[in-house]
Amino acid sequence: MCATCGCGTDEVRVTSVGGHDRHDHHRQHGHDHPHQHGHDHQHDHDDDHRSVEARTHTIELETSVLAKNDELAAHTRRWLTEHGISAVNLMSSPGAGKTSLLERTIRENRTGRSIAVIEGDQETLLDAERIRAAGAKAVQINTGAGCHLDATMVSSGLDRLQPEDDSVLFLENVGNLVCPALFDLGEARKVVVISVTEGDDKPLKYPHMFAAADLVLVNKTDLLPYVDFDLDRCEKDARSLNPGLEWVPVSVRNGVNLDAWYRWLGAV
């Protein structure tokens, strides 16, 4: 189990599309389980003491996990910068349209640069196969019960992917609006994709994600006539958390406002 967010990350598989597992990464995390016993005062006192120790240990362990992750992410960021590779961490809840956005971005490629993708999912090669069919190199990272990518996984994925110099690298994170916000992957920019079918309260419900984002893409705007979603309210709430946030409503299906996305991407 991940000591930071509680997800299971005992096994991670990094796989090339159409190939076999190339990297197995096993991690063991220790856990303390304080128990309360209703016996005498001395037992209660001892249990309280152990509970405090357990909480302290958990906080120290979480800090250690994030510190190690950030150290590796900084190393990855330096390597990417040296090779002129612009990495974008793409985050959303499941079904918001991350993979569809990448497919269209790869096919239309307005950047003039090679595009490669590290795909994060709990299971299957489905999304990486879609990316490969669209015309980009892809490596699939299956996190098992894990709910996010971390710097170790990305480093392993880069070893297998070997993106070209002066290229764009997308890190399509596991679908989740909570844990990915905590983990630096060495990216240059963070992009959050939400869809109008999710409701306009997402910035207030998941503030850390929106506070960390450089850009929010509001997808599926072609469905606005059929859903209860207030674009202005959603943007206002997001900017209250992150005043410098860039905000672009789009429709991947019909291409509305994707030029704004391509312009932003070209400046990364």
- Given a cut of 80, whether residue 61 has pLDDT beyond it is no
Q: What is the pLDDT of residue 27?
A: 36
Give the integer Cα–Cα distance in Å for 9 and 229: 35
Contact by Cβ (8 Å): 184, 73: yes
Q: What are phi and psi of 179, to 5 degrees?
A: -65, -40
> Region 120-137: what's the mean pLDDT?
94
Give the integer Cα–Cα distance in Å for 150 and 227: 34
Q: Where are the alpha helices (DSSP H) in 109-150?
A: 126-134
Give the integer Cα–Cα distance in Å for 113 and 107: 12
- Given a cut of 70, whether residue 41 has pLDDT beyond it is no
Tell the CATH superfamily of the 68-266 domain: P-loop containing nucleotide triphosphate hydrolases (3.40.50.300)
Q: What is the pLDDT of residue 65?
A: 75
Read off the pLDDT of residues 211-248 as tens digits, 9 standing for 90 and up.
999 999 999 999 999 999 999 999 999 999 999 999 99
Read off the pLDDT of residues 110-126 as tens digits, 9 standing for 90 and up.
999 999 999 999 898 89
Read off the pLDDT of residues 70-110 as tens digits, 9 standing for 90 and up.
999 999 999 999 999 999 999 999 999 999 999 999 999 99
Collapsed DSSP state (helix, strand, coil) of residue 140: strand
> What average pLDDT is seen over the chain?
85
Give the integer Cα–Cα distance in Å for 182 and 9: 15
- Helix axis angle, 41-82 relative to 151-161, nearest 10°? 30
Q: What is the pLDDT of residue 29?
A: 35
Collapsed DSSP state (helix, strand, coil) of residue 1: coil
Neighbours of 207 (CB within 10 A): 16
Contact by Cβ (8 Å): 127, 180: no
- Helix axis angle, 98-108 relative to 126-134, nearest 10°? 20
DSSP string, 17-82: TTS-EEEEEE------------S-HHHHHHHHHHHHHHHHHHHHHHHHHHHHHHHHHHHHHHHHHH
- Given a cut of 80, whether residue 24 has pLDDT beyond it is no
Strands 11-16 and 137-142: antiparallel
Q: What is the pLDDT of residue 46?
A: 54
Contact by Cβ (8 Å): 174, 122: yes
Contact by Cβ (8 Å): 171, 86: no
- Given a cut of 80, whether residue 51 has pLDDT beyond it is no
Give the integer Cα–Cα distance in Å for 78 and 84: 10
Q: Which of 18-22, 71-75, 190-194, 216-220 has the lowest mean pLDDT?
A: 18-22
What's the N-to-C CA distance of the chain in angstroms?
35
